[in-house]
Amino acid sequence: MQRPSSKGRFVRNRQLAEFGTTIFAEMSALAVATGSINLGQGFPDTDGPASLLESAAEAIRAGKGNQYPPGPGVPELRQAVAGHRQRHYGLSYDPDREILITAGATEAIAATMLGLLNPGDEVIALEPYYDSYAATIAMAGARRVPVTLHPPRFELDGDALRRAVTPRTRMLLINSPHNPTGAVLSRAELAVIAAVAIEHDLVVVTDEVYEHLVFDDAVHIPLATLPGMRDRTVSISSAGKTFSVTGWKIGWVMAAPPLLDAVRTAKQFLTFVSGGPFQYAVAGALNTLGADFYTGLRDDLTGKRDLLAAGLTAAGFRVYQPRGTYFITADVAHLADDGLTFCRELPSRCGVVAIPSTVFYDNKAAGASLVRFAFCKQDHVLREAVTRLATLGA
């Protein structure tokens, strides 16, 4: 049922009011003020492959993409995204009708919510969740319904998922590998999601920005590869995390034409287009970087994860070993009253910044004693952080 438009505007304003300021701003300011090592923000402190950086500079000099690129993205990049999806997962997408280039995964998420949801729709999302999910669901006038992932493994509770479905449920919003917990959904968990989606005729949106950041024996399986799922899944990924260029904001959406058309309609009026020269550079990286690159990325991050995990454990944290992403979630119940207090005090106590995971929950109690550390930093930075954290018990 459509609300009268004036009332609808008030509802949206009220719903956005809760997103006034973010903990990231507070913690980053604290990091600067105290000279702390910032393990709060999730971006690498070294840039991606030299060939990628050089090809962006080359594209600018050659006049490629300096003016508005085509609305759906440059054909070279749409073809490269299709080729990557085919090579890695055996999924075929038509670059002209089923792939849309966006201003990072962030715009992809916003355009998907605005393009597919109606006021009053319910979106089931696995919490803790990435902060833009809640905000963009609210912008669409829809309602988020959390299904909580619990430590130590943060695996999906299939019964909780089934119980969350109501007649108003329209969408499942899934993120795997999962920020902030580092959980990677198994084939069995994905099968439960697929069964619920098919039974209730739901659209599934999958945020796969960490698709290449998986460790140990974890494997990223796109939900769209499961039987019956390709044409009801909107898959989202991005170059930022894979190629360590989070400032470039080149993302993409892959979906069957009826879904993609709706997303594209919304995207046109968000940024219209962005990042012309970067689109060419990312196309080149997707086409040319092979197994060596992806294995190297994984090995490098596995070493960083192990370095920080060992340091946190030695400092008295309960560490939940991540199987993907570049975040570690740790429990500070033994070290402080709660995660928020702990994170506000950590910079002055030992010169390190982390994020209290409670900000990623609606069900605040579930994340009260959890904090998130990013380990996508140079080894010497992580070693210094570990040295500082070791003084906590003293």
Ligand X SMILES: *Cc1c(COP(=O)(O)O)cnc(C)c1O
Binding site for ligand X (CB under 6 A): 42, 104-106, 130, 175, 179, 207, 209, 238, 240-241, 246, 249, 251
* Secondary structure of residue 203 in the 3-state scheme: strand
Q: Which is nearer to ligand X, 308 or 315 (CB)?
A: 308
CB of 326 to ligand X, least distance (A): 9
CB of 287 to ligand X, least distance (A): 19
CB of 199 to ligand X, least distance (A): 26
Q: Which is nearer to ligand X, 280 or 389 (CB)?
A: 280
Q: Which is nearer to ligand X, 179 or 351 (CB)?
A: 179
Q: Which is nearer to ligand X, 80 or 209 (CB)?
A: 209
Which stretches within the chain are classed as H helix?
A: 5-17, 23-34, 50-61, 75-89, 104-116, 131-139, 158-164, 187-199, 239-242, 257-268, 276-288, 291-314, 339-350, 379-389
CB of 253 to ligand X, least distance (A): 11
Q: Which residues is 127 bridged to in the sheet?
A: 148
CB of 249 to ligand X, least distance (A): 6
In order of 9, 116, 255, 359, the CA distances from 303 in angstroms are 49, 40, 35, 28
Q: Which is nearer to ligand X, 99 or 315 (CB)?
A: 99
CB of 267 to ligand X, least distance (A): 13
Rounded to whole angstroms, how far apart are CA atoms 297 and 289?
11
| CB-nearest residue to ligand X | 104
Single-letter residue type at 222? P
Reading the block at residue 345, the tokens are: 């005090």
CB of 392 to ligand X, least distance (A): 27
CB of 327 to ligand X, least distance (A): 8
- From the number of C-beta atoms within 10 Å of its C-beta (0-12, 13-18, 19+), residue 199 rates as exposed
Q: Which is nearer to ligand X, 38 or 246 (CB)?
A: 246
Three-class DSSP labels, 152-187: CCCECCHHHHHHHCCCCEEEEEEECCCCCCCCCCCH
Contacts 24+ apart (CB under 8 A), 129-136: 129/173, 129/175, 129/360, 130/175, 130/179, 130/207, 130/360, 131/22, 131/359, 131/360, 132/106, 133/109, 133/173, 134/19, 134/362, 135/16, 135/19, 136/109, 136/110
Q: Which is nearer to ligand X, 301 or 350 (CB)?
A: 301
Q: Which is nearer to ligand X, 4 or 247 (CB)?
A: 247
Rounded to whole angstroms, how far apart are CA atoms 233 and 209?
15
